Amino acid sequence: MPIPRTLLDLEADVARDLALTAHPRAPWLVPKTSGGTPVLDCLVIGGGQCGLAVGFALKRDRVDNLLVIDRAAHGREGPWVTYARMHNLRSLKDQTGPDLKTPSLTYQAWHEAQFGQAHFAAMRWIPKELWNDYLLWFRRVAGVPVRNGVTAGRIGPARTDDGLPCLSVETSAGPMLARKVVMATGQEGVGRTWMPEFVAALPKALRAHAWDEIDFAALRGKVVAVLGAGASAFDNAAVALEAGAAEVHLFCRRADPMVVQPYRWLTFAGFLRHLHEMPDAWRWRFMAKILGMREGFAQDTYDRANRFANFTMHIGRPWTGARAEGGRAVLETARGDFAADFAICGTGVRMDPALVPELAGCADNIALWRDRYDPPPEEANERLAMFPYLGPESAFLEKRAGETPWIRDIHLFGIGTSMSFGPAGSSINAMSISAPRVAAGITRGLFEADLPRLWADLEAYAVPQVVLDEAKLAAE
């Protein structure tokens, strides 16, 4: 099949594909106000890939009164050109993602239109900067309305002028009202980046999290210790080596480093689409195993660090404590202390709604997995028990019914959904299945709340489709 010659040709294809698949076209929501102020049907907080994907899915369902906000400047959303230190994405280059399976909107179509089919075929992995450029293009041609430079704060309950529940969101641009809110706020969306308390207690000049801003030039000639053996830990080790660190030592808890990628295993339709419908015991068992394995590092990631002679990987040697001594970080391990000039923790995130400003008005009443499911002792895991226990619409559920019923209108789309839905929020491989599902959860709630209005609409419905021949109508 001939491929578009230029990006402009491709954009014409996109417009045609969107028009050809626009059914059902009918608008079905009516604008609301609250105290005279307009109310959005949906406010999406976060314009990274999840926010864009769910925004696109909602637009397809004619939720047009929609806004996506992001605190980052245009082009700086998400990790890709900010704190991600890898060269390439881990995801396979031909996966569908925010395009929601619209061929002309896929990464491959965008890449081939600019660089040609042969270039795409020869490319092994997608460079992260190209993925960022693609997301910006996607958002423009898919028509997802994004306002940058706006930070969301506390969410609370409100009412529309016709008595429906809605939400009020404090933002840096003033309060915003919306019937539904999606939190697509990324890795820290329901918690924070995490490092062991004893490392966090070291002076800031001696330690950082792998996703922090780090002055790598200042590590030239220094000894750097990295904790963790996931992709981010290796990426940070590699950047320190490339910046001229004298030695980089990576400490891995396991005696056998993780060389498989469980996210590869789970990338099939059954798992991605249906895990959330399965009993808690199975959801817990699968996700505890997968999240317990952590995301392994890729061969390129490993090679990038390992090609340096001054790189050492210490296996089976976790840090058990740390102290600052003589301007250095002394890291304690069962096999003796290790002194470094700087320590970097590639230790991911922990869920804790109490730390999230948007959830300040309800964090204490958000149901977590620990409130709803007791795993068998051999499967117990305190870290995973802190994940929110979400309803089928990907919305928060109450721990104590009736105290904050409005949280049912806050939907989550991000890594925090992992225990309830599988990898549905955080990774590209699940997005074409998960974004429409989150959108469906939103449209379901909007539809349900509008039932009386829709019933009145139907009763008043009088658009004739047939012109009767009055002359041949015989009234008995």
Amino acid at 413: F
Q: Contact with ligand FAD (CB under 6 A): which of 89, 158, 178, 386? A: 89
79 binds ligand FAD (CB under 6 A): yes
Q: Using the rule CB under 6 A, give the single segment among 89-97, 115-123, 392-400, 448-456 that binds ligand FAD.
A: 89-97
443 binds ligand FAD (CB under 6 A): no
47 binds ligand FAD (CB under 6 A): yes
The tokens for 322 are 């740390």
Query: In the complex, what is the shortest distance from the CB of residue 232 to ligand FAD, in angstroms, rounded to a whole number?
Result: 5
- ω into 24 cis (within 30 of 0): yes
Q: Contact with ligand FAD (CB under 6 A): which of 32, 34, 42, 49? A: 49
Q: Using the rule CB under 6 A, give the single segment among 35-43, 47-55, 267-275, 284-292 that binds ligand FAD.
A: 47-55
151 binds ligand FAD (CB under 6 A): yes
DSSP secondary structure string, 172-193? TTS-EEEEEEEE---TTTTEEE
Q: Which of residues 385-414 bind ligand FAD (CB under 6 A)?
A: 414
91 binds ligand FAD (CB under 6 A): yes
Query: In the complex, what is the shortest distance from the CB of residue 201 to ligand FAD, in angstroms, rounded to a whole number?
Result: 24
Handedness of CA 207, 129, 143, 453 (dihedral sign): negative
434 binds ligand FAD (CB under 6 A): no
Give the list of residues 6+ apart from residue 259 with CB closer than 8 angstroms, or none.
Answer: 296
Query: In the complex, what is the shortest distance from the CB of residue 36 to ligand FAD, in angstroms, rounded to a whole number?
Result: 25
CB atoms within 10 A of CB 398: 18
Count of residues binding ligand FAD (CB under 6 A)? 31
The CA distances from residue 105 to 78, 88, 272, 469, in Å, are: 20, 20, 21, 49
Q: Which helix (H) or strand (E) holds 99?
A: none
Q: Which of residues 157-216 bind ligand FAD (CB under 6 A)?
A: 184-187
Answer whether 250's CB lies under 8 Å from 305's CB. Answer: yes
CB atoms within 10 A of CB 147: 14
Query: In the complex, what is the shortest distance from the CB of residue 101 to ligand FAD, in angstroms, rounded to a whole number?
Result: 16
Q: Nearer Cβ to ligand FAD, position 4 or 230? A: 230
Q: Contact with ligand FAD (CB under 6 A): which of 48, 55, 230, 436? A: 48
Q: Beta partners for 32?
A: 39
Query: In the complex, what is the shortest distance from the CB of residue 189 to ligand FAD, in angstroms, rounded to a whole number?
Result: 7
Answer whether 417's CB lies under 8 Å from 271's CB. Answer: no
63 binds ligand FAD (CB under 6 A): no
Q: Nearer Cβ to ligand FAD, position 210 or 330? A: 210
Q: Nearer Cβ to ligand FAD, position 49 or 160? A: 49
Q: Which residue is nearest to ligand FAD (CB)?
A: 48
Answer whether 190's CB lies under 8 Å from 363's CB. Answer: no
Q: Using the rule CB under 6 A, give the single segment among 6-14, 39-47, 400-408, 443-451 that binds ligand FAD.
A: 39-47
Q: Using the rule CB under 6 A, give the single segment among 55-63, 139-147, 401-409, 426-434 that binds ligand FAD.
A: 426-434
| Angle of CA points 99, 132, 140, to nearest 5° | 55
51 binds ligand FAD (CB under 6 A): yes
417 binds ligand FAD (CB under 6 A): no
Q: Report how far residue 41's alpha carbon sits from residue 43's, in angstroms, rounded to the nearest whole number.
A: 7
Torsion of CA 402, 406, 411, 417, to 10 degrees: -30
70 binds ligand FAD (CB under 6 A): yes
Q: Which helix (H) or strand (E) holds 347?
A: none
Q: Report how far residue 250's alpha carbon sits from residue 104's, in angstroms, rounded to the nearest whole number.
A: 42
Q: Nearer Cβ to ligand FAD, position 48 or 445? A: 48
Q: Which of residues 265-324 bind ligand FAD (CB under 6 A)?
A: none
Q: Using the rule CB under 6 A, give the single segment among 78-86, 252-260, 299-307, 460-468 that binds ligand FAD.
A: 78-86
As separate numbers, helices (DSSP H) first and strands (DSSP E) second, the chain gives 16, 18
Query: In the complex, what is the shortest distance from the CB of residue 440 to ligand FAD, in angstroms, rounded to a whole number?
Result: 19
139 binds ligand FAD (CB under 6 A): no
The residue among 292, 89, 81, 48 whose CA lies nearest residue 189 is 48
Query: In the complex, what is the shortest distance from the CB of residue 185 to ligand FAD, in angstroms, rounded to a whole number?
Result: 4
Q: Report how far residue 303's alpha carbon sits from residue 294's, in angstroms, rounded to the nearest whole number.
A: 19
Q: Which helix (H) or strand (E) holds 33?
A: strand 32-34
435 binds ligand FAD (CB under 6 A): no
Q: Report how far residue 216's alpha carbon sits from residue 20's, in angstroms, rounded to the nearest whole number.
A: 50
Q: Applying CB under 6 A, which residues contact ligand FAD?
A: 45-51, 69-72, 77-79, 84, 89-91, 151-152, 184-187, 232, 358, 414, 426-429
